[in-house]
Amino acid sequence: MTTQPRKIQLMDTTLRDGEQTQGVSFTPTEKVSIAKALLQSLRVDRIEVASARVSEGEKEAVTNINSWAKQAGFGGCVEVLGFVDHTKSVDWILATGGSVINLLTKGSEKHCREQLGKTLAQHTDDIIRTVNYALQKNLKVNVYLEDWSNGYQNSPDYVYALMDSLQHTGISHFMLPDTLGVLSPEEVFNSLDDMCTRYPALAFDFHPHNDYGLATANVMAAVRAGVSSIHCTINCLGERAGNASLAEVAVVLRDKMAMQIGIDESHLVHVSNMVENFSGKRVAANAPIIGADVFTQTAGIHADGDQKGGLYKTRLGPERFSRIHSYALGKMSGKASLKKNLEQLDLNLSEENQKKVLERIVSLGDSKQTITTDDLPFIIADVLESKDYQHIKLLNCSITSGLNLESTASIRVSIEGTKHNATGAGNGGFSAFMDAISKVMQSHDYTLPTLANYEVRIPKGGHTDALTECVVTWDCGGELRKTRAVHANQVFAGVLAALKIINIQLHELNQT
């Protein structure tokens, strides 16, 4: 008989605990947009959206979320953190149209004694009074045992006594947080295994933090121990080092533990991008699943292996997350990397031209770490139009510009094997270079053609590190001729385009 995989609920608390990230505050409209994306697109089981009684803006956001959720069929999926204050938090949540309160109680004796100044019996009475009022008002009640991880380690009898008092009060979920992120996977398993064994009829949630970088590993230990719900945030938002990443947790539970979860993985990156934009907290490029570079191969040997049979592919394929595999171009590129990018652009080049383009990519890689697929057409056009004329070579060039200051250029060139030095000045870097190179060329009875047009383009997307393509139109005695060059530096793209017209004309003069 085939055993059905265990169902694990994921509760996202980006809009509550995640908003406690330093510098993050979502507007009411942003909160509604994120809530809709989490429930409707990503298909998270539950969301915690706010703390009760915080502000009027928070109340507006929660009201709008609850209104939408009820209409869309997600009414019981929206939860709000409340406090042990008898009627106040419950009434606040009711006023927003809410149906679930997550009651914050003290899960450690130290917190109860020093922060509240109360005994366990006094705190328990307050909790039960608030729980009873919430249940009378038809709210579903979950309970956080704040600082439970320290409480279990330092005062387990307190934790047991609190649980014994609350287990038959109608609470739906007992939510056990590693509030300060202090537990290791072994400690998580041992403590939660004890809780699940001691109270087998109760539903436990685990709420991890990432202070030791162990949040996802701790989730795995919690699930092995028998926990049925896990709390996460988008992009690891949360206090200090943040909470567990929903993307990591979802994929690990599915791939490594064969758990049944309801997440639609194809929307993970979309929701991550939304939260990144609204929060202003940037996701690291190498963040698992959602990072910009995690499906990019840099080494040419990896591209070669993929081309010869998917040798470097894993279950974490980009298509699974509505992404694509890319192959970075740069000084570590090989023929396979270039071919993969040409396939993506639907371009065909001869072996000889591929070799030329690859040589240019490797050369450019020394001045620019990564060359994108968007850069590639510029490089190809530059290489295919280039002639191997070497009548003049640029050996060195230093250009200096400043605000309200004239630009200067100092160059060293070789003309037919003879080296020349010159300096120039102008109202920009390119102008200064043209002044310097003109002085050199005068000694060879050569006058540069007149500049007719100067056009600079970068690939779509407008990235600050994009390659620059410079196309210069020259008036060569009434005949308009164009030269093109590509470089990571805008001014030097123009410099290389100018050297091309000089080489072309010197070659023509030598032919006559």
In a 3-state reduction of DSSP, which class is residue 407? Answer: strand
d(CA 343, CA 373): 10
Question: Is 146 annotated as catalytic?
Answer: yes
Q: Which of 16, 48, 248, 484 is flagged as catalytic?
A: 16
- d(C-alpha 80, C-alpha 31), whole Å: 13
**Which CA distances in Å does 349 have to 325, 329, 365, 382?**
21, 16, 21, 14
Contacts by residues 300-305 (CB-CB < 8 Å, ≥ 24 positions apart):
300/332, 300/333, 300/334, 300/335, 300/336, 300/337, 301/334, 302/327, 303/327, 303/334, 303/336, 303/337, 303/339, 303/340, 304/334, 304/335, 304/336
Task: Give, in degrees to the nearest 5, the angle at Cα 417 between 415 and 423.
Answer: 45
C-alpha span between 375 and 463 (Å, rounded): 11
DSSP letter for 115, please. I
Q: Catalytic site residue 323? A: no
Long-range contacts from 50-54, C-beta under 8 angstroms, 24+ separation: 50/15, 50/16, 50/80, 50/81, 51/16, 51/80, 51/81, 51/82, 52/80, 52/81, 52/82, 52/83, 52/88, 52/89, 52/92, 52/93, 52/101, 53/83, 53/88, 53/89, 53/92
DSSP 11: E
Please give the order of strands across the beta sheet that includes 392-402. Answer: 392-402, 405-415, 418-426
229-232/296-297 β-pairing: unpaired
- List 79, 109, 146, 469, catalytic entry: 146
Q: At what angle do helices 88-95 and 120-136 cross, to 10 degrees?
A: 30
Q: Report yes or no: 64 and 103 within 8 Å, Cβ to Cβ.
A: no
Q: What are phi and psi of 507, to 5 degrees?
A: -65, -40
Task: Please identify every residue annotated as catalytic.
Answer: 16, 146
